[in-house]
Structure 1
Amino acid sequence: MRNILGALLILLAFVACQTKPTKITSEQGVVGAPEKLMEGSPVILDVRAPFEFNLSHVPGAINVRWEDFSSQDPNSRGVLQDDLFAIARRLSLIGIDPDAKVVILGKGSLGNGEEGRIAWTLNVLGVKNVHTALHTVARATNPKGDEPLVKNKSIWKPVVDESLFIDARNFKAYATHQLSPLKMTGKKKHKKTMDLPVSSLFGMNFNDAKSKVVILDVRASAEYGINNLTKYKNVKAPVVQLEWKEFFNEDNSVKKDIEKKLESKGITKDKIVMVISNHGVRSGAVTYALRESGFRQSVNFAGGYEQWK
């Protein structure tokens, strides 16, 4: 009897010491969405890699990559395709026109600013009602989880906002404070026009604009430390480093208080901010964020260091 009682006590002690089994739950790819963000049945774009998108995505989202709209030249991958009308035609097939509301989903700080880059691209083409958010934002208007059909829009011609980007020759001209000559077209140019840049920034003449220019490098500090524009003796414009992640909240929306941090670095709204990264993705995201924050004289050097070299 004692042996049986002792065995029972040992068994009870053993059971009591066992940890509770881990509760296994399936990961949900989406969570509740802010109502205002998803109001009006927006077009939802998801910029993650196809593999991640296929594992889990918001019902109705369309998978796009920033490379879909960019140059195939390996030395200037960040530059938009020459035929912007062709991009607009492609967008119309997925329901996007200048009047569309677009929500762009991605990985936020775990990515490389792809959401903001697509937002910048749409802004360039004249699509203004654009928002960024984490891919974990859900579209709650479809309780059955069915994929809604994409409704095509009529083909439209983009009204290009050229103030959102700058080409390599002009970036170099303003960065070095040196005038960039116009391309010769076979016609004889007046001597004075030979020293003018290809285009002026925000309607200012070259001397007025170059005095307001500041270069904003939005790469990580480690990248900046390895190579940046201050190491080039011909660069005269001031260079400021502030990582692109500083411009976005945890939910991937644009920070409302970024203005204070920029002012502490000498960047005010009267400055012309030329934004640079390696190949125009993170700098595109920051240009989008700057414009949303009221910095109307911000411009993306889409070619980035890749083209600068």
Structure 2
Amino acid sequence: MAAVRSSISEKIVILKIQALEVITPRACEKKYWLLSRKSGTTHKRKKEGYKKMTYRMIYLCMAASAMLMAAAPLMAFDLRLADPAQAAKLSDAVILDARPPKEWQQGHIPGALSFSWENYTRTEEDGVKWRILPPEELARALGAMGISHTDAVLVYGDADTSWGGEGWVVWMLAWLGHEGPVYFLDGGIQSWQADNRPMTADAGKNRAPTTYEVNLAPQVNISREQIDARKDKINLVDTRGFFKEWMLGRLPGAVHLGWEKFYQGRHRQVISADQLKTLLENKGVDLNKPVVYYCTAGIRSGYTWLVHQLSGLPGAVNYEGGTEEWAQKHPLTR
């Protein structure tokens, strides 16, 4: 890409290409227009630049998409598993409770902030439900809560009422390019309470607002168009319920592994790397190819992505759009 001679606006697109989470010709055109505005180009020049945009830029976008997908295992994201004793020592970490707000209100780890996926998703204009908010909106929300991109963060849930939302929160931080270490409380609130750790219903003090800088990591997400283009080069794993969801329709070529298989024991602790590898191999998953987890809208599959990431196995991706997005353009198969 560096060898291609480009206009100023084209160079901006190339430099910002890593921030494209859904890379399609239409998305490239939209990003080109927005970045032209951001660069201070006049309205007349913007209009002319938009009209003169060539397919070379579209091909660059698509090529960048393929490169980013291939680079998925190289993502720099500091994710660590913590037991209650280790978590209790993280005095400087921001604590995020990923359960529904009503659960947080009834009792949470002292100092924990409520951060439920339900408050950070929306229905898009095309009717697709539970889509994650745009990165800039998430950054504003995190900054308003006093969370910086360099902060250490401890995330927990219950792998129950949260529908795996704790995994979605960790995945979201990875997608935003969080630079500080992210700790995941193994066994969630159940293990914390079983270890006789303190709980409170006190909302606590507000943190001073700060700036959260985004350095988007599109390699942990995938679009419907990318799945179409790479369907022979990826594994698709459906993490939804078997009878009420999988049997009624799924993505072509997918195998089924319900998200409940990714935790174990009464505290719902994450399974080991060996257990995960066995699960995947028993389903015929080729671990030399990226594993794309999906559910209805990326929540439960966010949890399975988390477990995969913790295992150290290569190539985990969360299809955030899920069957909600897929079914807008393609029928689900049986």
User: How does the TM-score come out when normalised to structure 1?
Assistant: 0.67
Q: Write the deviation string for residues 235-280 of structure 1: whole angstroms up to 9, x where unpaired.
A: 4xx3210011211234344321312221222224322112111111
Unmatched runs of 5 consecutive residues or more in structure 2? 1-82, 328-334
Unmatched runs of 5 consecutive residues or more in structure 1? 1-32, 176-209, 230-234
Question: How does 1:172-251 map onto structure 2 within 5 Å?
Answer: 172-175=228-231, 210=232, 212-222=233-243, 223-229=245-251, 235=252, 238-250=253-265, 251=267
Q: How far 1:115 sits from its partner (Å)? A: 1.1
1:152 aligns with 2:174: no
1:258 aligns with 2:310: no
Contact 1:247–1:289 (8 Å) recurs in 2? yes
Residues 52 and 81 of structure 1: CA distance in aligned 2, closer, same or farther (over 3 Å): closer
Question: How does 1:1-309 map onto structure 2 within 5 Å?
Answer: 34-41=84-91, 42-73=93-124, 75-82=127-134, 84-109=135-160, 111-127=162-178, 128-132=181-185, 133-136=187-190, 137=192, 148-152=204-208, 154-175=210-231, 210=232, 212-222=233-243, 223-229=245-251, 235=252, 238-250=253-265, 251-256=267-272, 257-309=275-327
CA distance in structure 2 between the partners assigned to 1:105 and 1:163 by the alignment: 24
What is the SS of the residue equivalent to 2:292? strand
Q: Write the deviation string for residues 23-73 of structure 1: whole angstroms up to 9, x where unpaired.
A: xxxxxxxxxx72112322222222222222222222212112213332332
What is the SS of the residue equivalent to 1:172? helix
Contact 1:219–1:242 (8 Å) recurs in 2? yes
What is the SS of the residue equivalent to 1:221? coil
Residues 154 and 239 of structure 1: CA distance in aligned 2, closer, same or farther (over 3 Å): same
Tell which deviates more after alignment, 88-97 or 280-289.
Answer: 88-97
Q: Write the deviation string for residues 97-141 of structure 1: whole angstroms up to 9, x where unpaired.
A: 233222223222454111111111111112251314422325989
Contact 2:235–2:286 (8 Å) recurs in 1? no
Q: How far 1:144 sits from its partner (Å)? A: 9.3
> Which structure would you say has the larger Rg?
1
Q: Which amino acid aligns with 1:59?
A: P
| Aligned residues: CA RMSD | 2.7
Among the aligned pairs, what percent are the same residue? 26
What is the SS of the residue equivalent to 1:131? strand
Q: Write the deviation string for residues 76-100 of structure 1: whole angstroms up to 9, x where unpaired.
A: 3343223x13312321232432332
Contact 1:78–1:302 (8 Å) recurs in 2? no
Show structure 1 runs of 4+ deviating over 4 A.
138-148
CA distance in structure 1 between the partners assigned to 2:173 and 2:311 by the alignment: 17
CA distance in structure 1 between the partners assigned to 2:89 and 2:268 by the alignment: 18
Residues 291 and 268 of structure 1: CA distance in aligned 2, closer, same or farther (over 3 Å): farther
Name the structure where helix makes up a greater proportion of residues: 2
Residues 217 and 285 of structure 1: CA distance in aligned 2, closer, same or farther (over 3 Å): same
What is the SS of the residue equivalent to 1:216? strand
User: How does the TM-score come out when normalised to structure 2?
Assistant: 0.62
Q: Write the deviation string for residues 275-304 of structure 1: whole angstroms up to 9, x where unpaired.
A: 111111111221222122123312111111
CA distance in structure 1 between the partners assigned to 2:254 and 2:237 by the alignment: 6
Residues 78 and 274 of structure 1: CA distance in aligned 2, closer, same or farther (over 3 Å): farther
CA distance in structure 2 between the partners assigned to 1:247 and 1:295 by the alignment: 14
Residues 130 and 162 of structure 1: CA distance in aligned 2, closer, same or farther (over 3 Å): farther
Paired residue total: 234
Q: Which amino acid aligns with 1:46?
A: D
Q: Which amino acid aligns with 1:129?
A: V
